[in-house]
A and B are shown apart, each in its own frame.
Chain A
Amino acid sequence: MISIQSLTHNYHNGPTLKFPDWEILNQEQWLLLGASGSGKSTLLNIISGLLKPQNGKVNLNETDLYSLSQKEMDRFRGQNIGIIFQKPHLIKSLNIFDNVALASSLAGVKINQSRVMDLLSSLGLEDKTKNYPEELSQGQLQRVSIARALVNKPALLIADEPTSSLDDENADNVLKILTQQAAENHASLVIATHDRRVKDKLNKEYLL
């Protein structure tokens, strides 16, 4: 279970952003909606432990995120939170299999080869495992980044504008995959978007 309480953040010579309290129960799927510049990305960065807020608390399964040391936080994030960025951000020098396996080894989790293979084939990438990121399409790369986010069986899956750079068909696909995989892996899901196509696809909404 994830909860945020009285969160505010103030960028250096930027606006002060206030975030309403929020509780996400296990395996719930949420849309994070708001206008451009309303602070969606900022909130997701705070929840995933990448950006320390000025005030307030973030709890994930009884762990107060910002009471952890930097190093503990990195590890906690690696093991409990899967992040999907707008761009796939894969490591160019590693092939697809290694890119996914890397998430395990960096989080200090033993690499589970069959888990990696299962994930990749459930995302339709079983014949691309030995290819390098340059050899894949945008949609395929986005699917690899989903596999990477899921490989450590995180409690929370976060996606920031996962569809904005994809065409209708791919956007629909990625959305389906996200909801389906989150359910299969018993993870809570939060998708931040201002993409009209995504609206009404998830039943819960948090508005900024």
Chain B
Amino acid sequence: MNILRLSTKNLLRNKLTTFLNIILVAFGVAILTILFLASTQIGDKLEQNAKDIDLVVGAKGSPLQLILSSIYHIDFPTGNIPLKDATELMQNPMVKRAVPLALGDNFQGHRIVGTDSGFVSLYGLKLVAGKFWSRDLEATIGSGVAAEAHLKVGDKFFGAHGLSDASDEHKHHAYTVTGILQAQGNITDNLILTNIGSVYKMHEPDHDEHEAQKEAEISNKEITSILIQYRSPMSVVIFPRMVNQSTNMQAASPAMESARLFSLIGVGIETLKWFALLIMAISALSVFISLYNAMKEKKYDLAVMRSLGASKAKLFFLVMLEGLLITVSGAILGLFIGHLALHMIAHYQESSQARLTGLYFVTDELYLIIAGLVIGVVASILPAIQIYRVDIAQTLSKEK
């Protein structure tokens, strides 16, 4: 019978207190786990999706919104820009590569992006089946779309107006799937790519008179935005200023906007972090109080064990171990809960574009286990030190 077994038995004797303490530790750790996981995943996603894009040009409005809609495909676009102006800009000598985007439709929440072959080379896309789109109403779909909508090469589907819901389908034109993309681990997995002409075709005014009157509607002479790669890094300063001042469009830098977005999220994360740390501190206090109170009763047991031949050091570790067992199992349970919770959150998340996963591990989680150890040590060291002060003869000869 080792001291591990002994301390486990002691803990099991006070099931409710033990359970409560474990839950407290687990709760704090779970919140921190979710924060760690979500913030690294969001950071990674922000970075990956904007990797090779230096600038986005679109209609005037919020630059963050422009970035969100054109790179991360989350928010609504700021509006549309005249094709003529866009073409002019795309031919600017400072531009190495420019990819036009025409947005406005979705299929079961997956955005339909009208673009050209520049998009394929910009994101380094490869096919697992079929071929890339070439004619109107041909679509190449991301791996995530294929999996979720159960689409194969040759299948047909109807796009719906808007960016997320399916209430307003374009019933008169069906897309044909010509190819399925390899999984990239970025936003393209959740997109449906087609040519700009198809998007125009969907919004031709002759079928529906109301649609023609909506201003935001894309027309033959407009696109939504342009993704731009510079020829040289020198353009970082001049080019956006040129766009913002001399044209009726706005330029937004993904790097800058992502940083701004992240600092906004950061405030919330910071608050939650302090909250979680507070919970951990309370749990340490609670473990301490439980152990300390138990010492009064345990003084007897410990004196008996001393009389049976246990050294002070051994009993010191026995008490320490009880604290550590609580906090470390709480930490492990917390990690588990954190992953599970994030996985559930991801499951019910609406936007497929920013989907998180619980099956993701970061090194910071190791620190949480270490934090569990530290809390255990802090909470149990004072009760454990009492071992050295117990007078066995006196304790045992006093009648209880």
Contact across chains for A89 and B396 when beta carbons are under 8 A apart: yes
Does A98 lie at the interface of the complex (its beta carbon under 8 Å from any beta carbon of B)? yes
Contact across chains for A70 and B312 when beta carbons are under 8 A apart: yes
Q: What's the nearest-Cβ distance from chain A to residue B17, in Å?
A: 13
Contact A103 to B308, CB < 8 A, known contacts A89-B300, A111-B1 = yes
Task: Please measure, in the bound complex, the distance between the C-alpha atom of A91 and the C-alpha atom of B312, giving whole angstroms.
Answer: 17
Number of B positions contacting A (CB below 8 A): 27
Binds A, one of B5-13, B152-160, B239-247, B369-377: B5-13
Number of A positions contacting B (CB below 8 A): 34
Q: Which residue of B lies closest to A97 (CB)?
A: B1
Task: Please measure, in the bound complex, the distance between the C-alpha atom of A79 and the C-alpha atom of B300, giving whole angstroms.
Answer: 21
Contact across chains for B393 and A45 when beta carbons are under 8 A apart: yes
Q: Mark B303-336, 1 if CB is under 8 A from A, else 0.
A: 1111111111110000000000000000000000
Task: Please measure, in the bound complex, the distance between the C-alpha atom of A71 and the C-alpha atom of B1, giving whole angstroms.
Answer: 20
Residue of A41, A98, A107 near B308 (CB, 8 A) is A107
Contact across chains for B304 and A74 when beta carbons are under 8 A apart: no
Contact across chains for B392 and A101 when beta carbons are under 8 A apart: no
Q: Which residue of A lies closest to B2 (CB)?
A: A105
Q: What's the nearest-Cβ distance from chain A to residue B10, in Å?
A: 5
Contact across chains for A50 and B307 when beta carbons are under 8 A apart: yes
Contact across chains for B311 and A71 when beta carbons are under 8 A apart: yes
Does A102 lie at the interface of the complex (its beta carbon under 8 Å from any beta carbon of B)? yes
Does A66 lie at the interface of the complex (its beta carbon under 8 Å from any beta carbon of B)? no
Does B399 lie at the interface of the complex (its beta carbon under 8 Å from any beta carbon of A)? yes
Contact across chains for B310 and A106 when beta carbons are under 8 A apart: yes
Contact across chains for B393 and A102 when beta carbons are under 8 A apart: no
Residues of A near B232 (CB, < 8 A) are none
Contact across chains for B1 and A93 when beta carbons are under 8 A apart: no
Q: Mark A91-120, 1 if CB is under 8 A from B, else 0.
A: 111100010011101111001000000000
Contact across chains for A74 and B301 when beta carbons are under 8 A apart: no
Q: Mark A74-90, 1 if CB is under 8 A from B, else 0.
A: 11111100010111011
Task: Please measure, in the bound complex, the distance between the C-alpha atom of A75 and the C-alpha atom of B312, giving whole angstroms.
Answer: 11
